[in-house]
C-alpha cells in the first residue's frame, strides 16, 4: 500500500480520498475547509496544517482543485509545492484545467525530477463515491504505469490519452459532447411531452432506438422518469451548471487553439452560460431542460 497526500477535498476529492483509505492506503489530507478535513479524519485519514507538511514522505500526491490558477498556485513559484516534494514521488493532478497549464506544471515538475500526470475524471459525485470514475491521463507511459494501481482504487476506467495535457483535452472533448447530448435529450423529451407523450415511455422508446445515449440511460433530465437522477430531486445534487460552463469554456479554448470548428459546442456553452446567469449555477446541469419550457 502507498502513502498518499491528497489536497482538495471538495465534492469529488473527498469521496476519492475515502476510497483510497478503504483500499488500505495511508492518506494524509489537506484542504482550506476544516470541515472537509474533519470528515476524512473521521474515516481514518491523517491531516496536516499545510500542503507542504502533507506531502512529506508521500509516494503519491493527488490534487483536486477548482481551476488552473489554483493548480499553478499550489505547485509553482518560490513557495510552490514542487520545492517540497521528493523526486521519487508521483504527482497526479485530477483537477479539470486547461491543457497548457497542465503542460506548464508538468514541465516545472520535470525540472525537479518529479513525474506527473494530468488525470481529470468523469462520472460525477456518484461515481466518485462508488469508486467507478473514469480517469483520462496525460503523461509518459512509465508514469502512467506507476500511477495505475492507485487510480484503480478510485475508478474503473483508466485511460492513457497521450502526453502531458492530453488528459485535459480528452476531458474537454468528453464534456462538450455530454453537454450537447444532454441538451438534445432535453429537447426531445420536452417535444414529446408538449405533444402528449409520457416522458418515461418516450425515454424507453429512444433507449431502444437510434437516439440512445448516456443522458437518457443513466441521467434522465425529465423529473420523475428516473428516481436516482438529480432531475427527480429538484436537480440536486450532481454536476453543477457552473462547472459545465467552465468545462465548455475549456473546450472552446481548445477549439480556438487548434482552429477546430465546434458550432454545437459553442451553442451549448451559450445556453449553459445563460442558464447560470439566471441563477441556476449551483443546480445540476440536466436542469437545462427547464430552459426549454415548464
Residues 5-39 pLDDT 10s: 999 999 999 999 999 999 999 999 999 999 999 99
Residues 130-147 pLDDT 10s: 999 999 999 999 999 999
Cα→Cα distances 277→109, 128, 138, 180, 270, Å: 38, 28, 33, 19, 10
Average pLDDT over all residues of the chain: 96
Residues 162-186 pLDDT 10s: 999 999 999 999 999 999 999 999 9
Is the confidence at residue 94, as pLDDT, over 80? Answer: yes
Domains of the chain, each with CATH number or no CATH: 3-164 (3.40.50.720), 169-292 (1.10.1040.10)
Grid cell in block for residue 26 = 495511508
Q: What is the distance between the alpha carbons of residues 15 and 243, in angstroms, rounded to a whole number? A: 18
pLDDT at 117: 98
Residues 204-223 pLDDT 10s: 999 999 999 999 999 999 99
Mean pLDDT of 220-239: 95
pLDDT at 238: 85
Q: What is the distance between the alpha carbons of residues 99 and 97, in angstroms, rounded to a whole number? A: 6
pLDDT at 276: 98
Please give the model's pTM, rounded to 2 decimal places: 0.93
Is the confidence at residue 294, as pLDDT, over 80? Answer: no
Mean pLDDT of 66-83: 93
Is the confidence at residue 266, as pLDDT, over 70? Answer: yes
Residues recognised as catalytic: 171
pLDDT at 126: 86
Burial label, 73 (beta-carbon count in 10 A; 0-12, 13-18, 19+): middle
Amino acid at each position: 500500500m502507498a502513502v498518499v497526500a491528497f489536497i482538495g477535498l471538495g465534492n469529488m476529492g473527498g469521496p476519492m480520498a475515502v476510497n483510497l483509505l478503504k483500499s488500505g492506503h495511508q492518506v494524509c489530507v489537506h484542504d482550506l475547509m476544516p470541515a472537509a478535513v474533519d470528515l476524512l479524519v473521521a474515516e481514518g485519514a491523517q491531516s496536516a496544517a499545510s500542503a507542504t507538511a502533507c506531502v512529506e514522505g508521500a509516494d503519491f500526491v493527488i490534487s483536486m482543485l477548482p481551476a488552473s490558477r489554483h493548480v499553478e498556485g499550489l505547485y509553482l513559484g518560490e513557495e510552490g509545492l514542487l520545492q517540497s516534494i521528493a523526486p521519487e514521488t508521483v504527482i497526479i493532478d485530477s483537477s479539470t484545467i486547461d491543457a497548457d497549464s497542465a503542460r506548464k506544471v508538468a514541465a516545472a515538475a520535470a525540472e525537479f525530477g518529479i513525474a506527473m500526470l494530468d488525470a481529470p475524471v468523469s462520472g460525477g459525485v456518484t461515481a466518485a463515491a462508488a469508486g467507478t470514475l473514469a480517469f483520462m491521463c496525460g503523461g509518459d507511459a512509465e508514469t502512467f504505469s506507476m500511477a495505475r494501481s492507485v487510480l484503480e482504487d478510485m475508478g474503473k476506467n483508466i485511460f492513457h490519452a497521450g502526453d502531458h495535457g492530453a488528459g485535459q483535452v480528452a476531458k474537454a472533448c468528453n464534456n462538450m459532447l455530454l453537454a450537447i447530448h444532454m441538451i438534445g435529450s432535453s429537447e426531445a423529451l420536452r417535444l414529446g411531452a408538449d405533444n402528449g407523450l409520457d416522458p418515461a415511455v418516450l425515454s424507453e422508446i429512444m433507449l431502444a432506438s437510434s437516439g440512445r445515449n448516456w443522458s437518457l440511460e443513466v441521467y434522465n433530465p425529465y423529473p420523475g422518469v428516473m428516481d436516482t437522477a438529480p432531475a427527480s430531486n429538484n436537480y440536486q445534487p450532481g454536476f453543477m451548471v457552473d462547472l459545465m460552463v467552465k468545462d465548455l469554456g475549456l473546450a472552446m479554448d481548445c477549439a480556438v487553439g487548434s482552429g477546430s470548428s465546434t458550432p454545437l459546442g459553442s451553442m451549448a456553452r451559450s445556453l449553459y452560460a445563460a442558464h447560470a446567469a439566471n441563477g441556476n449555477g449551483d443546480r445540476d446541469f440536466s436542469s437545462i431542460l427547464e430552459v426549454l419550457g415548464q
